[in-house]
Amino acid sequence: MKVLGKHLLIEAKNCNAGLINDLDFIKSIMINSAEISGATILGEKFHKFSPLGVTGILSIAESHISIHTWPEYYYAAIDIFTCSTTFKPHEAAKFLIEKLESKNFDIKEIERGINNNAIIEPDINLIHNEQKI
């Protein structure tokens, strides 16, 4: 497979329920996680659900970082996807897990890309001429 990106799926369990229900806190740690791991933030969107839960996504030049929380279950689902060699997704994951005070977590890493039977070389004409697909 030609690997084009790395995708971390983080299951953060036994988190601090108050923290994962705090929109401002979640937004702050998400932005900090991007900054300390070398990401370039392009945009953001966060939302507080009623009565519980927060969701948020950072669009980064390297791809995205997202979170969805269920305080009633002390649980947060975090995705970190990158196609960059300079962004350090594991540093972002470690930071978020620590800040959420997760006492039990799992990180799955998936390589994203195209299989060897697909066209592996990029279409140079698309790159140089910026043709519409």
Rounded distance between C-alpha atoms, residue 69 and residue 5, angstroms: 25
pLDDT of residue 124: 72
Low-confidence ranges of the chain (pLDDT < 70): 117-120, 122-123, 126-133
Assign domain 2-129 to its CATH architecture. Answer: 4-Layer Sandwich (3.60)
Annotation marks residue 83 as catalytic: yes
Question: How many angstroms separate the first and last alpha carbons of the chain?
Answer: 24
Matching residue, tokens 């060897």? 116
Among 83, 84, 102, 128, which one carries the catalytic annotation? Answer: 83
Look up the pTM and report it. Answer: 0.86
Q: What pLDDT is attached to residue 2? A: 84
Our measurement of the distance from residue 27's CA atom to the centroid of its chain's CA atoms, rounded to an integer in Å, reads 13
Active site residue 63: yes
| Mean pLDDT score of the chain | 92
Domain map of the chain by residue range? 2-129
The Cα 18–Cα 23 span in angstroms is 10
Catalytic choice (33, 68, 84, 102): 68
In single-letter form, the type of residue at position 102 comes to: S
Active-site pick, 33, 37, 63, 102: 63
pLDDT of residue 133: 55
State whether the Cα torsion 120-123-128-131 is positive or negative. negative
Residue 87 has a pLDDT of: 93
Q: Does residue 68 carry a catalytic annotation?
A: yes
Contact assessment for residue 107 and residue 13, using Cβ atoms and an 8 Å cutoff: no
